[in-house]
Amino acid sequence: MSLKHLFRLISAISFSLTSIGAMAQSAPLTSENYMQDGANKGVVLLSVRWDRKWNCSGFQNAQLRLIGFDLFPSKRSVDDEGADLLLNDAPLLLTKPRFDDYAFLVEPGQYALSKLHIKVARSVRDVGIAKAGREVLLKEGSAFAGTFNVGAGEVVYIGHFYIDCAEEPGLWRYYIKDRESFNEYLADQKKKVPELDTSKASFRLFKSSFFGKDFELN
């Protein structure tokens, strides 16, 4: 199912500027919270590329603006602006063509994609944000858009996320493709939080029939 088909379930894409911002319950990983709660909670590692992708499926450009995951089954209301794991710090103007790395300390369990915002522009003056929320991504209580799992004391890498332009501007989950690159990625995370036990890190990608392909690291 493409992003266009997801949006059809609720309404047509609206082209009007919308402000976004919310508080997430999960916390960015630090030495302090890892030492305090690392045994009882899980660590989620992921990367997001926030820069605009130009000439994207008929649009001048498209840009990820927000990705949210709920602990599943979600206890949040459909209209709740938050998410249990929320990434929404995309720069408004000055973006860089690179993946930004994130590490979060979260409650253990299964997480489902629950919110997705993508800014699309036909021109400088024709800009809007296409949104899919719980009423679409968690339709009828099903986490069909995609999930990942993390247990207490685990360190889990779930992938690299960026814009896809195959049919319409949409989300796609990429991934590190070899063990050497994965070890380098983990070493970079450990530099930021030296206490992080990367020796037990798992390569466990966000699974989705719409936003990524299955892959296991040998």
Can you tell me the distance from the alpha carbon of 186 to that of 191, in angstroms, rounded to the nearest whole number? Answer: 9
* Percent of the chain surpassing pLDDT 70: 88
pLDDT of residue 98: 93
Mean pLDDT of the chain: 88
CB 113 within 8 A of CB 207: no
Q: What are the residue ranges spanned by the domains of the chain?
A: 3-203
pLDDT of residue 17: 33
Can you tell me the distance from the alpha carbon of 206 to that of 67, in angstroms, rounded to the nearest whole number? Answer: 13
pLDDT of residue 23: 39
Average pLDDT over residues 185-196: 97
The model's pLDDT over 97-148, given as tens digits with 9 standing for 90+, comes to: 999 999 999 999 999 999 999 999 999 899 999 999 999 999 888 999 999 9
Average pLDDT over residues 213-217: 94
This prediction has a pTM of: 0.87
The model's pLDDT over 21-76, given as tens digits with 9 standing for 90+, comes to: 333 479 999 999 999 999 999 999 999 999 999 999 999 999 999 999 999 999 99
φ, ψ for residue 141 (rounded to 5)? Answer: 75, 10
pLDDT of residue 104: 98
Average pLDDT over residues 87-96: 80
Confidence of residue 12 (pLDDT cuts 50, 70, 90): very low
Confidence of residue 20 (pLDDT cuts 50, 70, 90): very low
Which of 216, 214, 205 has the alpha carbon at shortest distance from 45?
Answer: 205
Confidence of residue 200 (pLDDT cuts 50, 70, 90): confident
User: Side chain identity at 17, as an amino acid letter?
Assistant: L
